[in-house]
Copies of this chain bind each other. A is one copy, B any other.
Amino acid sequence: MAREQTAKRREGNEIEFGRIVAFSDGVFAIAITLLVLSLHVPEHLHGESLGEALWDQRQDLLAYAVSFAVIGRFWVIHHRLFGDVVGFDGRLLALNILYLAWIVLIPFSSEVLGDHGGDTDAVVLYAVNLAVVAVLGWLMAYDAHRSGLAKIEVHEEREFRLRAFFVAIVFLASIPLAFVAAGLAPLLWLMLFLDPVSRRLGRT
């Protein structure tokens, strides 16, 4: 309540509000584009053909594709959340920056995964990074909902929560699996495409 009253309203401050989403969009756009830097241009070919050298990078290309989809998906969620935001204050800004700090880490975790795909530690790093993003995203939605800064309806907030927890659980569950069979853990991530939340709530 108190917070809802001290916060700046979105209407009447559209330009200031616009900067928050513009800054976030910029960070998302740069993070997703930096993924391409994890693909290494083969410089010296040691007896192999260029095609073989590129084929050796299929794991990097896979990590690129997965991470592009993941960051793109989180951007869509961020986009939907801020579509419902009606006011902002220092705390929402701080949470948003904390959230973005973990988004920006993804190109790093992704490159580690691409270069050391069969390594338990690489899978753990990636899984932890993505689980934290999912939880922070929910926390931001929850906090904005609670404080009245986002006009999210109750069932929508529940959907956000279920979805975030589903993503977090899939990634966290892959960690113990990574210790047994690191190569199989990413297969578990395919479960993310099942999206049981939408099915349960009957939407997309």
Residues in A lying within 8 Å of B, measured CB to CB: 13-16, 18-23, 25-39, 41-43, 49-51, 54, 65, 68-69, 72, 75-76, 79, 82-83, 90, 93-94, 97, 100-101, 104-105, 107-108, 111-112, 115-116, 119-122, 124-125, 204
Judging by beta carbons under 8 Å apart, are B26 and A116 in contact?
no
Tell me which of B75, B83, B93, B101 contacts A76 (CB under 8 A): B93
Judging by beta carbons under 8 Å apart, are A125 and B54 in contact?
yes
A120: B residues at CB distance < 8 A: 51
Copy number of this protein in the oligomer? Answer: 4
Closest residue to A72 on the B side, CB-wise? Answer: B97
Tell me which of B22, B101, B121 contacts A49 (CB under 8 A): B121
A83: B residues at CB distance < 8 A: 13, 15-16
A79: B residues at CB distance < 8 A: 16, 19-20, 23
Closest residue to A57 on the B side, CB-wise? Answer: B108
A104: B residues at CB distance < 8 A: 32-33, 35-36, 68
A36: B residues at CB distance < 8 A: 31, 34, 104-105, 107-108
Judging by beta carbons under 8 Å apart, are B54 and A68 in contact?
no
Of listed A23, A30, A124, residue having the most chain B CB within 10 A:
A23
Q: How far is the CA of A15 from the CA of B25 in the complex (A)?
A: 12
A51: B residues at CB distance < 8 A: 120-121, 124
Judging by beta carbons under 8 Å apart, are A65 and B101 in contact?
yes
Judging by beta carbons under 8 Å apart, are B23 and A27 in contact?
no
